[in-house]
Every structure is written in C-alpha cells, then in structure tokens.
Structure 1
Amino acid sequence: MPKALPAVGLAACALQLLDFATKILIKDHEVYQPRVGSGVQNTHLLRAVTHELYRLTEALHEYKSRRTYYEKKTGKLEDATQLLLRLCDFTPEIVVLLIDGLESAQSKCEGVESTWTNLREPLMTVWTKGAISTQKKRMQTQRREIELALLRALKAYIDQSPEKGLSMMNLEDTQTIHQQAWQHEAVEAIRTNDWKARNKKHTEEFCKLVDNLVLADTEARFRDLIFANLHFPEQDDRLHSISKPNDESFQWIWNSQQQGKGSFPVWLGDSNGQNVFWLTGKPGSGKSTLMKYLFRNEELFPFLERWSGHSPGILTGFFLWNCGTDLQKTTIGLLRTIIYEALQDMIFGPLEEDPSIVQRIFAERWKQFSSYGGGIRPFNLSELRTAFDLLLSDKTKKFLLMIDGLDELDDDPTNALTVLLSASNRENVKICISSRPSVIYQATFKDWPSLELNKWTKRGIQDYVLYAFDQNDTMFNIPAEQSDGTEERAIVNTLIEKANGVFLWASLATEFLIQSTKETDDVTTIKWRVNALPQELEALLIYMFDNLDPQHFLQAARLFRLVDAHGYPSLLPLTSAVHTDTRTALEAETRPLTVGEVLTRSERMRNILVFKCKNLLSIFEALPTDSQRTSVEVADLAHYKVNYAHRCIRDFLRTYEMRSRIAKTTDYENFVEDEHWANAHLWTLKTLQPRDGKLAIWDALADCMEYALRLESNDDRVRLTYLDEVNATLAEHLVNPATPVTAMDFPPGATVNSFGDIAVLLNLTKFLTIKARSADKKDLRHAMEYAKDVRTRLYAGGLDAFLGKRGRLRESYERVDADLANLLEYHTRSSLKLGSPKITRDMPEWV
C-alpha cells in the first residue's frame, strides 16, 4: 500500500474544519447534553466550539508551513495540487467570520444560563437567519470545491507516469494509517470506475468516500487528544532513574524450586485465581531495581503463556515516585499511565486493535467532542476508574500489570488498592505489586503469594561490592605474595553482613569506603573503617555527614536546598544554579553552548554529586521513549535530571535535625534558592540550542517569569533589571534568522513581536506599570491584541499546558486587574481629548 500523500492530509484537515463549522449552523445538529458532574456547563459550550475551530485552523496553518518548506526543497507543484492547496489556504478566511460571530455571541450570552438544543440559537442573538444561511452556503460551496480539487489531484496522481514523478507535497512523517488506507481505497475506486470531476454521479460517489475520510480524521484527532490528556512528561522518569540492574544478580527469581511454593514464576503461570503477587522488603532493599529487571523482560513470557495460552497479552505498569511530581505519586497518575501504555500497545503494537476502542472506553467524551468539540478537560479519578474497568473487560485479552512502589502514593492508598484489587478479581488480569511492608499492605496482601526481597539479595550485594572494589585501584592494593586474601574476604563479608539485605546501605557504604581509602592505607586501616560503619541505614547517613569535610557539607547542603526548591531539576540548569554569584546570567552572552562546554559543566557537576554529596543525589537520563540518540549533542544532555538517589535519603534529610543542620550550614537567611534558580533559568534562556529547525523557548521564558514573580512576592519589589535582560534575550532570539518566530513554541495565536506581548498576556502587573509610560504605542497595542487573541484561542484553563505547575505565573495570568487594563488602554491612545482624566497607578519599587 503506498504511503498517504500529505496533500490528502491537508485536504482532510480543511474538510474537517468545514464539516465541523457547517454542523454548527444546521438546525438538526443537536448539542449533546453532558451528564451531570461531567464538568461542562451550557455556558461553556460556545467557548468549546470556538476553541475547536481555532484548533482546526491551527492545524491547517501547520500544514501550510510544511508546504512552504517542501516547495523550497523541490520547486513548483503540479496544477491540480496547487489548486487544492489554494482552496485549503482560503478556508480559514471563510471560517473566521463564524468564529467572530461565536465570540460576539459568547460576549452577549456571558452570565446567562440557557439550555440550547442547537448552536444556531446563541448565534441568532448576533446574526440574522439570512446571515446564517449565507455563511452555511459559503462553507458548503467551499467544501464541494475542495472535494473536486482532491478528486482531480488524485486523478493526476494516477495518470502521472512513474518516470516523470508527481510531487503531491510528499513530506516525511506526516502520513497516518487511516489516510493511507483511505487514499488506497480512493485511488482504486477512481482507477476502476474511471471517475471524472465533470461527471456529477462520479463526484457524488467520491464525496461518499470523502465523508469516510473526514470521519476517520475526526476519530483520529479525538484519539490524539485523549492520548495527550493521558500522557504526562514525567511518566517514565522513575523507571529511567533506577540504575540498570545486573541480570546475574536476579537470575534466582526464575528458579521456582529455589523459591518454593508461591514462587514468582509459578504465580505467573497459575490459573487458580491467585492474581496478585506482592514483592516487599525493607526500604532500600532493591524492590524497584528488581521490578525494572522484570518489567517487559523476555524471560517473563514463557511462564506467562502457561496462564494466557493463545490469548493476546498486554503488559503495562507504572513506577510510582514520592520524590517526583504530583502525577508521579497519585492514583490518577497511575491510572493515566496504565491506560495510556495499554492503549498504545494495543493499537500500535502487534495486536493492531481497532482504534475505536478509545471512543468506546471514553464514550462520554467522544459524544461531547463530536457534538461541539468538548471532552478535552483534565481527567478525574472517577472517569479513569470507569475507563480502566472497560479496558480490562475484554476477556479475550490477558493483562499483566506491574505497579512499583505502591507505598510511594501521596494520596489515600485505599483509592489505588480498591481499583487494583477489583481488577484482580477478573480472570484475565494479573498484578505484580511492590511496596514496603507497611501495616495497610501487610493486611491487604497477607493471603496472596509474596516475596520478601531482603532475604534474597545477599548474592547480589556480594557481586556489587566485589565489582566496586575491583574497579578501584586503591582498594586492597597489596602484592599477592604479601596476602592470601583472607583479610580482604573478611572485609567484604563484613559489608555484606552489615547490609542485611539492604542494597542501598551496601552501595552507600561501599562508595563511602572507597572514597575514604588512600593508596597508603593497609588492610588493617580499611578493616577498622568497615567496622566503624553503623549497621542501620539512618545511622549510616548520620555517620557519613559527620565525616564530611565542612566545605563539602556546605556545597552538599546548598544542593539539597536547590533540589528541594525545584522538584527534580535538569542537570544543565543546576550547573548554573550552584553558582554563589546569582547575577552571572545577567552578564552572559546569548549563544548556544558548545558540546565541550556542556560536557565540562556536566562532568564538574557529576564530580560534585559523587565526591562531595557522596552519591546522595544522582543523575539519571529521562530520555523520551521515542527518542533515539545518534550523537552527543547539547540538546541530548537536556534529558539528564538530578534527584535524590532514594526516597530514604530524601526523608532523612527532611527530618527536623537535618533540616536545622542544613539551614545553619548554608546561612538560611542569605541563601535564597529562588535567586539561584532565577539566575539558572535566565542562563538557560540565553543558551538555548535550536534543534531540527525549531527552538523550544517557552519553558525557559516562563521559568524566568515565574522566579521573578516569586522573588517579587517575597519583598514586593519588581526584578526590573532581571526582566529587562529577559526582554533583551528574547529580542535576540526573535531576530535570529536560524529560528524564526514561527519555529518557536509560543502559545497559539498572533505572532510574538516582543517580551511586552508575553508580559501583557500573563499580567505582569507591576512590571507593566513601570514600562507602560515609555512603551511605544504601536507595540503596546499589539501586545493587548496578542493577549486577547491567545486568551480567546485557549479559553478557560487552556493555558494549563503552557503554565504547568508555575504557581505565581498562574496566579498572575488568572488575575483580573481592571485598573491595569485601563492604564494600558490609556497609554495606547495616539491623542487625548482636552480634559481627559489622566490614569495613573502607584509606581512599584524595583531592583
């Protein structure tokens, strides 16, 4: 089957827009009334409809930018394709009239509670029946012309000889499965029936095929929106952060005779209703490491097939993380991940499941989406539970769920336990769960097969200690003729015994011992150090801190505070945040770093974490699952993040004693974490690296504003110098010919001309109060129009994807400040009438 031509995708997008817009004006198109509690009220319908029209228009603009890129590479397109492209380009100009009408209706109906049977009713408050009829006819005519142009383009594609070649905007990575299938069907029908655009019957038959294309594209776009709502960027970070397990250390897990009754491999193949396996053990005993080893391990499947038989199997799971973001430690995040991963595997994996499964398990949202473009709000726990239950209800499929760190939950654990235990009652579901042996989990899982990991880790700890010593030149640096190895083995055995099955204790103690050892040390000295190590994990951590060099402790304490203040930061910004001078970014030039500069910074930070922080903080690579590394580039290193090596360490450092000790060490009053992070984010903004012709600028820019607002909230002084530098940096990026503004990830809407546009959009009130007097009137007017346009396109809550968890920026964006609006309006006037009142605001302090 030939690949789908991008011109087909372009036409499908334009036809979707016209199809949706035309529905709005048809009397018989009833508005789907959401169920009570679904989160959508009638007064929000106009916003949802307008937003959907904007989204479809943006998709057309995206195709247009791809076409421009293609034309530059290959030259002129064929006449049939050129006509199709021109018609598609003109489509938004027709639909924008409807958008304007809906926005006017929205203003008129604001605050009025009404129940509309169709969307013509609110539109009738601003348009006449004649105007509605005219608009509908224009859109129907435009649709017919696009359909005819598409028929001609496909006909030309068939008639074109392979030698000459046909350029139908053949871009890479823009085809979709349904468009490919539709194109194949359409081409075969045109070829078989010799359809011609001049024949009315032929065009009617072709239009029926087009209806299928529009429906398939609408369904595909709904699936994409559902997947986007389910997915979150940190979804796999915990899995990535766990050190790669040593395969040999866990080979025993497959030996059912060694484990005896209720062993893991026996449980995998069991069909007697024992559908939960509980992996437990002391904190730090390596539960997550074993779960990572097991997750999608090929050795699972022979055992699992004894249970699943010939039924297709789905293996999915989630690694909870209490040191992470809210979604990484809640039941909502757990369910979103499991549903997302399962659907992706079912639809795009070997099963090739019918994609309409997404519409079935999210039926309520699909009805809203197909009716008025709704159903894209954030998920709540109730509907996720329903979707999860529907997903598992297909008895023809077997599901293995692997849930790591259930004790890492930050919400009520009974929510997750209720969902998981209910799922385990199904014959087609098995669940492997790991957690600490807390009371609630002991009570819940006491009758299920289980394994206490710390009783099985002695061999793995031995392998780790021997390997670590072997990699270090200073350990046991004794000529063979002077030692028979007895004392060395005794030291290793002492470490193993003291670890008592806790891998974390073994790794911290071994690395601490190695770093403490000098080339001149003999075995007796090393033995004394090993004996001095406390056996309990918390006591070991205290011992490590007591033996730290004061300067090392100071740097480690600052890093702990920086990480706590940020969540878990990316590695590169942290290399700037650790600077004692928080104004270094103000003087830095705006340019990408070289690979050498990035590697130098990264290596320096790695050394600090290893030798000064004693591996209590670790670096991990949160590489997206669809990424493939081809070379060492600056952008690649952006995926590296820093967090606590283990939750036990984070919890220990948050005890009252350690918090007090860290605060005293770092001069609590004078060490302001937000100042360091403000400096780091400005440095990040200045050193942004374009990739594939695009510049991901928004996050760095938003972080700069967030931290400027945080500092402002502390002392009520605007960080004017800092924001002026943010302004200057953005200006440099905007005029860089390598990355035009269209290649930057700003919120959808009008083109960004300056930082003032962003400042008005996000209501940087005090900054604008200072700047409004000297601002160019034309620039200020553009900023106000830009802010209005973006807010309209995103409507209620639509900026969530752009603001994320930036609390101060969100507060600022949501603030209604009529006085500021009046002030900005006042300063945009080209002339003032005599006697017009002067609008002023108290000038804020700034630094």
Structure 2
Amino acid sequence: MSPLQPTVGLASAIVQSLDFADKILSHEHSVHHSSKGASPGDHAVLQNVANNLYRLTSKIAKADKKAGKIGGALLNLLSVGEQTRTWIGYLAEYVLQAQAKLKYEEPEHASVRDALATVKKDKELVGLKEHFGDLRGEVDATLLVALRQPLDQSQTKDLSGFAVEDFRVPFLERWQERVIEAIQTNGWQANKKQHLQEFSKVLDTLVVAENEAHFRNEIFGNLHFTEQDDRLHSITPPQEGTCDWIFEPRLQKGTKLLEWLGETTGQNLFWLTGKPGCGKTTLMKYMFRNEMLFPKLEEWSGLAPGILTGFFLWNCGTNIQKTTVGLLRALLYETLQDMIYGPLEQDPGIIQYLFEDRWNQFKSYGAGFHPFPLSELRKAFELLVSDASKKFLIMVDGLDELEDSPSHALDMILGLSYRSNVKIIVSSRPTEVFEQAFQDRSRLELNKWTRTGILSYVLHAFDQNDVMFGIPDQESDGTEERAIINSLVDKASGEYLWATLGTEILIQTTKETDSVKTIRARVDALPPDLSELLAYIIDSMDTKSLTQASRVFRLIDAHGYPLLLPLCFANDPDTKSSLSAETAPLTMSEVLSRVTAMRLMLKTRCKTLLTIFEAKAPEGSLVSDATTSDLMHFRVTYTHRVIKEFIQEESMRSRVYTATGNDALNTDEHWANAHLWSLKTPAPSKDGKIAIWDMLADCIEHALRLEASTKRVRLTYLDEVSATLDHYIFSSPITSLDLPSASPTVTVSSFLDIAVWLNLSGYIKVKARTTDRKLVKHAWEFSKEMRKMNGIGGEEKWVRGRGRLREAYARVDGEVVALLKEHRKTMRIGSPKVAVDMPEWV
C-alpha cells in the first residue's frame, strides 16, 4: 500500500467535515425545503445536521487509525484531524442545544446559522467559521507538501499504484493522477498563496465526488434489503428438460410467449397464470435471465440496450417481501446496479437525477435517507424507464402474494405496459382481480401445459429410489407399473405440488416386500384434490411424527423462515439448555450431527411439507458438503404457500396443534434458548471474524418478550448473555460486536453498557444496586454517546423488526434515570437512596 493512500483518505475526511461545517455556518446556505411535500421542520433539520457532523467526525477517526503509523510532514495532518474532530464536536453540541431550544409554534429558520444564533453570539459563530477556514488551509498545505515529497525525491509521476477501498478506487486513482500531473505542470508550492488556492480547487473535486459516492451508497443501502433474493434462492430448480418447452416453438402449440417476446405491436404484458402449485414460480425462475430469452428480445429491442430486472414476491416471507414497496425497492436496486456497474456503465449521476429532492436535502443539511414512501418509489421507477433509448424487460412473480392492496402494483404495472420500451411478464393465481385486469392481455394457463414435465418428474423420482426402481418384476409386462405412474400424473392434474407430495408419500410408504397391486392401491387412495391430499398426509402421521412436526410448524410460524442451525436449537425440548452451554464455536461434527438429525426429521416426520434452501448464490450446495460458515445461509420454510395456508386454517390448527399439546407451546422460550445457543457458539465468517450484534439483539428481544408476558425480568438468562459478551470482549480478538452507528472511540466494557443504552429498565433496576460505580458511570457515558450518534429515529437501521427492543429504547423510565444518577455521583454517608419499585426476576 502506498503511503499516499491513508494521506489522501484522511485529508478527504477532514475536508468533507470542514466543508459541511462551513456551509451550515453561512447565512447564505439556506435549508432545502421540498416542493413535493411538507417541510421536515427545524427539529428534524437540526437532528440531521448533528447526525451528519457525527458521521463525518467518525470518518476522521477511522482515517486517523489508518494513518497513525505515518511520520514526517503528515504528523501535522493528524493534528489537524484531531483539532477538526474536537471543534466539529463543539458545533454538533451547539446544533443540539439549538434544537432543544426550539418552540414548535415559532416560524422555521431560513438557515441553520439562524438557528445557531439562538444559542451562540454572532461573534462566536464568525470566529468558529474562520477557525474552520484556517484548518482547511492547513489541510491543503499539508497535503500539497505530502504529494510533492515523492515527486521531489523521484521526479516521477507514476504513483497510481495504491489501492483504496470499495467505491473510491476508480475516482481516487484518476484524481491522484490528475493532481500530480497538475503539480508537476504548474510547479505548485505550498508556500505560495496562489498555488495553494489552485490546489484547493482540485481538492474540492475530491470532496464533491466523495459526497456523491456516499449519497449513492446510502440510497443503494436504503433500497436494498437483506432478504431481497431469498425467495428466488428458495425455489427448487426444475428437473432438467421439464421447462425447455417454453422456448421451443414446435412444443408451444399456441402459448405465444416467444412470439410475444419479439413482437413490436405494443402488446407489452404477458400473464402467466394457473392453479396453486402448478409451477408458475419455478417456470418464472427458469426464464429469469435465461439466455434463451435474448434472441427474441433482440428482435424487439433492435440496437437499443436492453435491461432485464425482476422480483419474486413471497407471502411466506417477511413484510417487505410481500408489499409493493418491497417490489419497487428491489426493482430499482437491481436495475440501477445493472445499469451503473454492468456493461452499460451508466453515469452514476442517475441516482442524483432519480432522487433529486433527497440529493438536495443531503447537500443542504445531511438528510435524504429517510424510508421510501410508495409514491416516491413509483415516481422514481417510472422516471427510470421513461428513457426511451433503453428497453426494459420486467418480470414479477406472485402478484397474488401481495399483502397490501394489489391495486397499487396493478396500477403501476398496467401503466408501464403502455410504454413502447417496456415489456412485463407477471405471474399470479387466476383470481377475479387479476382476471379483470389482464383479460385482454396475452396469457398462458400453465397447468394445461405441465403433464409432460410432471411425468418426467415422477419417472425421475422413481429412478432415484431403489425400492420404486425395482417395482417391475420378471413376471410383469410393465402394464401395472405404467398405470401407477399414469395415475399419479393424472391425479396431479397439472399441479407440480400435488405430484411432488403424492410421489414422496408413496415412496416413503413403499417397502421392498410390497407388491405392485399394494402400491397401486396406495396410489388409488391418494385424494386428487390438493387440500384433501394435505389432510391425508397429516392424518397418515403417527402421534410422534405429528407432535414433532407441529412443534416445528409453530416455531417457523413464530419466526418466519429461520436459519437451519438456530432451528435445531429452538427445537430442543429443554428451553434452558443454552444456559449451561460452553461459549465456543461448535465443531463441524457437532454441527453436522444436529443438522443431519433435523434434515431427517423434516423429511420423515414432516413429510416434506417443509424444505431447506440456501439463501445465497450460487445454488446447489449440499448441506453434507458445507462448512460451518456455509451453514449460516441454509434456511427452512414451508415447501409452498398452499401448505402454510392449510396448516394455519382454524379447523386444521385444532388437529395439528391442540391435539398434540403444541398449541400452548411458548415459542418465545424456545427461540430465546436458540438465540443464546447461537450467541455462545458462533461460526466465524470466511474472513475469520465473528460479528455478534444480530445474535445479541435477538437474545435481548426475546428476553423482553418473555418479560412482557410474565412480568418477570429474565435475570438468569441476561446474566448468561452478559457473561458471553464478557468472553467476547476480553477473550476473543476475532470477535466484532459491530455496534450500529458507533464511533471508533466508543467501546463496550460490559453488558451493562448495552443494557443502559437500550434502556433495559427491569434489568438495570436489579443490577445497579450491586454494580461497581465505575461501570455504571461508563454505561451512562456510553449510552449518551451511542444515542447521540444514532440520533432520533436512527435506531430503525439496527432494530430491524425487533418490536420489544424498539419499545424499550424509546421508553423513558424516571426511576431508572434517578437510579443511574445516584450511582454516578459520590454518595455521602447518610444520603437518602432513590426509592425504586424492584421488579420480580427469574
């Protein structure tokens, strides 16, 4: 790594901080108010200003660490960085003081400077602005000297070989080459004012580009969601050859998909429909980004560049996976990623163009990263595809999986379909709302075309099973065997799900001693209706199987689609087993033992009603071949939405849950146990690090849920969480707590720091009486710093759906505040103690 890498990085961080501070201290720098909506108000503006100031000082601190070993002239730059952090910290405090002094009935301030004038004299603000200007001059001069040194020593300009992290690499390399060439050409010297001014202008381009890159990264981060591709990865790839017919003109016999792909007549929407379980999603996955699409699409697109994007909605997933907001966020993210970083190499400035109002807010006062409303997402996507020089193919699977009103998505999709440069393939069940919306559009009713594929599937399943493969005997002419297979295919009636479940239950119940006649009788007993088949499968379970299966159903219903290993922990009947578990990663043999047992249970006890999938690409990894790190991507979910809906029907709940005693199962107890197991036995990632924030937060969330339901603080449990955290802090250098929004200067010394920050009031009341005052004082300071860094509403980025944790964080408990205050100050003998209503604990 070149010495210039940390130099330029530190200088850039300092200049960005000084540049933003200079803006908000200027009368001329007005607050941007959107013309498209209500003003955010001074309170929100000032909070965003403070948040951005803390972000920038944190960036300096991180750059300081990288530049800490550099000597010579750059020691001055480190000093300037430290001064900048200090003075920016003062400015942030002034901003928060101005915020606290606001009165909501007062008119809004035209600038942040006007708001600051309510807490500081004008002379002080002028002096602060001038001080920041002086610091900027020192940065410019120091960096110019640093860049000149290697030139003066080697008389060469080939210094472009240093690497800089992530998005900054291309720009900084070009910037360095340009500025070094300018230094050589112009002979700039740091002791000449005009030279320094010219160099300063070049340095400004670095700051502008860094700000643009930060804005783009934040927008991408707000569009993307972790589980965005999980539905796509959960879909089992079709058996080889079963979907090829969709691209074969001689096999299509009037489906018209290929014809539709290439036509330019304006019929730009194709509806793939069919009965539940007929394979719509599997076919959509097969077609998604399939190279066989491209020849026909090129007939339509001509010389215009083409962009293919899509999203697979999922009713069995999280809230964001089954809403129009989630759909649009995914479409925008995937399309923009492809346009900017794909072969088109679109100007990244398209982000500022699509989200112009947010960009102006960011430039004005560091804002623009609030949650996306549906209206803004829709407008941005429509603006994106309005570029007629590009052609867009959009694929949306599972419109019927939407939980919000389908009219939002339908209005948008139908509107897009009238654009000549857009084609859309959608899939859904043939419900009334979609029949009406797509009645005049090209369509394919899939269950009418799947017999050949289902036959291929059944034959393949029989071929892969030793018992079924040996059905024919020497005395048979094969007629009965073919009748068994044809009966399965006929009963499936175009539904792949029926074929999968029916074939699997037949295979599981067949023994080597069974005759063909016996097997045929079992096939005849299978009901042809999918719902009746599911009831048949449930009724066929013995008591032990039904009890185990219903417990797993309850655990999944309470958690979504959990990771495989935590589900193994949650399925443990002993909900206190984690308390005595050793704090150390499980060995690979221990992990595989648990996972193998769970896989076997899902197959035999749950009758393939649940499935395991890998929530990442590439697909196809086998659990038996996976490393411990790889297993962190395997998840468990219902094999199909139809199964989830069936199990959760009121009539079925009594048969599946109540009859087995699992209706009273406390799933929070089981998942609390699972999360503590996960916290105590984490698997390192491929870089060797262990990030534990999410596991820690899940433990706290479930402790709070149990406290809310029983009115007792889970002291024993949280003490074990505390001991585990102590182990990580003091004994495991590879562990990263990875605290959200934390400054590099903020460190955790004990679990009490976390408890005070997150406002675990019951736990604090119990522990504070016996805790060392130094630890209480540190916890209070830690909490103040963390809440200051996060700002109002900043917790949403790390709470991520943990409702009890969000409630605790926002709650103000006067008794806890008084108790912490008492323990932070030196107490004299005889001083009255704060009276606290002590909670019960277990």
TM-score (norm 1): 0.94
| 1:733 alignment partner, one of 723, 728, 732 | 728
Verify the 8 A CA contact 1:583 1:679 in the aligned structure 2: yes
In 2, Cα distance between equivalents of 1:327 and 1:735: 38
**Change over 3 Å in CA distance of 1:821–1:141 after alignment to 2:** same
Verify the 8 A CA contact 1:279 1:450 in the aligned structure 2: yes
**Residue 356 of structure 2 is aligned to residue 363 of structure 1:** yes
1:654 aligned partner:
648
- SS of equivalent residue, structure 1 residue 117: coil
Number of equivalenced pairs: 837
In 2, Cα distance between equivalents of 1:695 and 1:91: 33
1:224-280 residue CA offsets vs partner (Å, 9 max, x unmatched): 111111111111110010012234111111123543556111111111110100000
- SS of equivalent residue, structure 2 residue 310: strand
In 2, Cα distance between equivalents of 1:746 and 1:30: 31
**Residue 63 of structure 2 is aligned to residue 63 of structure 1:** yes
**How far apart are residue 199 of structure 1 and its match?**
3.3
| 2:718 alignment partner, one of 723, 728, 751 | 723
**Change over 3 Å in CA distance of 1:592–1:293 after alignment to 2:** same
| 1:815 alignment partner, one of 806, 811, 815 | 811
In 2, Cα distance between equivalents of 1:586 and 1:817: 29
2:92 aligned partner:
99
2:210 maps to a residue whose letter is: D
1:372 aligned partner:
365
| 2:585 alignment partner, one of 584, 589, 592 | 592
**Change over 3 Å in CA distance of 1:243–1:156 after alignment to 2:** farther
1:71 aligned partner:
none
Verify the 8 A CA contact 1:568 1:642 in the aligned structure 2: yes
In 2, Cα distance between equivalents of 1:650 and 1:112: 52
**Residue 490 of structure 2 is aligned to residue 497 of structure 1:** yes
- SS of equivalent residue, structure 2 residue 143: helix
1:683 aligned partner:
677
In 2, Cα distance between equivalents of 1:638 and 1:789: 32
**Change over 3 Å in CA distance of 1:791–1:555 after alignment to 2:** same
Verify the 8 A CA contact 2:324 2:409 in the aligned structure 1: yes
- SS of equivalent residue, structure 1 residue 634: coil
2:488 maps to a residue whose letter is: L
1:689 maps to a residue whose letter is: A
**How far apart are residue 117 of structure 1 and its match?**
1.2
**Residue 291 of structure 2 is aligned to residue 264 of structure 1:** no
**How far apart are residue 553 of structure 1 and its match?**
0.9
In 1, Cα distance between equivalents of 2:67 and 2:559: 41
Verify the 8 A CA contact 2:94 2:116 in the aligned structure 1: yes
In 2, Cα distance between equivalents of 1:393 and 1:446: 26
2:659 aligned partner:
665
1:201 aligned partner:
194
Verify the 8 A CA contact 2:572 2:670 in the aligned structure 1: yes
Verify the 8 A CA contact 1:49 1:372 in the aligned structure 2: yes
2:762 aligned partner:
766
After TM superposition, the structure 1 stretch with the greater mean CA deviation from structure 2, 187-196 or 372-381, is 187-196
Verify the 8 A CA contact 2:33 2:39 in the aligned structure 1: no
**Residue 778 of structure 2 is aligned to residue 782 of structure 1:** yes
**How far apart are residue 169 of structure 1 and its match?**
7.4
2:797 aligned partner:
801
- SS of equivalent residue, structure 1 residue 633: coil
2:635 aligned partner:
641
Verify the 8 A CA contact 1:629 1:636 in the aligned structure 2: no
**Change over 3 Å in CA distance of 1:544–1:628 after alignment to 2:** closer
**Change over 3 Å in CA distance of 1:302–1:159 after alignment to 2:** farther
**How far apart are residue 138 of structure 1 and its match?**
2.1
**Residue 696 of structure 2 is aligned to residue 701 of structure 1:** yes
**Residue 529 of structure 2 is aligned to residue 536 of structure 1:** yes
After TM superposition, the structure 1 stretch with the greater mean CA deviation from structure 2, 686-695 or 707-716, is 686-695
Verify the 8 A CA contact 1:77 1:167 in the aligned structure 2: no
**How far apart are residue 182 of structure 1 and its match?**
1.9
Verify the 8 A CA contact 1:285 1:454 in the aligned structure 2: yes
In 2, Cα distance between equivalents of 1:451 and 1:423: 20
1:149 aligned partner:
142
1:440 aligned partner:
433
2:395 maps to a residue whose letter is: M
In 2, Cα distance between equivalents of 1:339 and 1:357: 12
After TM superposition, the structure 1 stretch with the greater mean CA deviation from structure 2, 142-151 or 169-178, is 169-178
In 1, Cα distance between equivalents of 2:641 and 2:681: 32
In 2, Cα distance between equivalents of 1:292 and 1:89: 53
| 2:279 alignment partner, one of 286, 289, 292 | 286
In 1, Cα distance between equivalents of 2:647 and 2:315: 14
2:63 maps to a residue whose letter is: Y
2:207 aligned partner:
214
Q: Which runs of 5+ in 1 are unaligned?
A: 69-75
| 2:827 alignment partner, one of 828, 831, 837 | 831
Verify the 8 A CA contact 1:487 1:523 in the aligned structure 2: yes
In 2, Cα distance between equivalents of 1:679 and 1:455: 48
Verify the 8 A CA contact 2:278 2:496 in the aligned structure 1: yes
In 2, Cα distance between equivalents of 1:696 and 1:273: 51
1:815 maps to a residue whose letter is: R
1:413-445 residue CA offsets vs partner (Å, 9 max, x unmatched): 000001111111111111100000000101111
**Residue 614 of structure 2 is aligned to residue 618 of structure 1:** no
In 1, Cα distance between equivalents of 2:433 and 2:30: 50
Alignment of 1:4-15 (within 5 A): 5=5, 7-15=7-15
**How far apart are residue 498 of structure 1 and its match?**
0.7
Q: Which runs of 5+ in 2 are unaligned?
A: none
| 1:559 alignment partner, one of 552, 557, 574 | 552
In 1, Cα distance between equivalents of 2:389 and 2:3: 32
**How far apart are residue 629 of structure 1 and its match?**
12
**Change over 3 Å in CA distance of 1:819–1:27 after alignment to 2:** same
**Residue 337 of structure 2 is aligned to residue 341 of structure 1:** no
In 1, Cα distance between equivalents of 2:629 and 2:529: 41
- SS of equivalent residue, structure 2 residue 474: helix
**Residue 179 of structure 2 is aligned to residue 186 of structure 1:** yes
Alignment of 1:79-94 (within 5 A): 79-80=72-73, 83-94=76-87
After TM superposition, the structure 1 stretch with the greater mean CA deviation from structure 2, 807-816 or 837-846, is 837-846
**Residue 314 of structure 2 is aligned to residue 314 of structure 1:** no
In 2, Cα distance between equivalents of 1:626 and 1:483: 41
Verify the 8 A CA contact 1:615 1:645 in the aligned structure 2: yes
1:575-618 residue CA offsets vs partner (Å, 9 max, x unmatched): 10000010000000101122222222222211111111111111
2:787 aligned partner:
791
In 1, Cα distance between equivalents of 2:740 and 2:813: 24
1:326-378 residue CA offsets vs partner (Å, 9 max, x unmatched): 11000000001101111111111111111111111111111111000111110
**Change over 3 Å in CA distance of 1:573–1:453 after alignment to 2:** same
In 1, Cα distance between equivalents of 2:3 and 2:376: 37
1:181 maps to a residue whose letter is: R
**How far apart are residue 833 of structure 1 and its match?**
7.6
1:277 maps to a residue whose letter is: F
Q: What percent identity do the matched residue pairs reach? A: 50
Verify the 8 A CA contact 1:47 1:106 in the aligned structure 2: yes
1:707-739 residue CA offsets vs partner (Å, 9 max, x unmatched): 111111112111111111111111111112423
TM-score (norm 2): 0.95
2:26 aligned partner:
26
Verify the 8 A CA contact 2:324 2:402 in the aligned structure 1: yes
In 2, Cα distance between equivalents of 1:65 and 1:303: 55
**Change over 3 Å in CA distance of 1:171–1:229 after alignment to 2:** closer
2:55 maps to a residue whose letter is: R
**Residue 836 of structure 2 is aligned to residue 841 of structure 1:** yes
After TM superposition, the structure 1 stretch with the greater mean CA deviation from structure 2, 38-47 or 165-174, is 165-174
In 2, Cα distance between equivalents of 1:384 and 1:174: 24
**Change over 3 Å in CA distance of 1:25–1:561 after alignment to 2:** same
2:236 aligned partner:
243
- SS of equivalent residue, structure 1 residue 176: helix
1:73 aligned partner:
none
| 2:385 alignment partner, one of 388, 392, 395 | 392
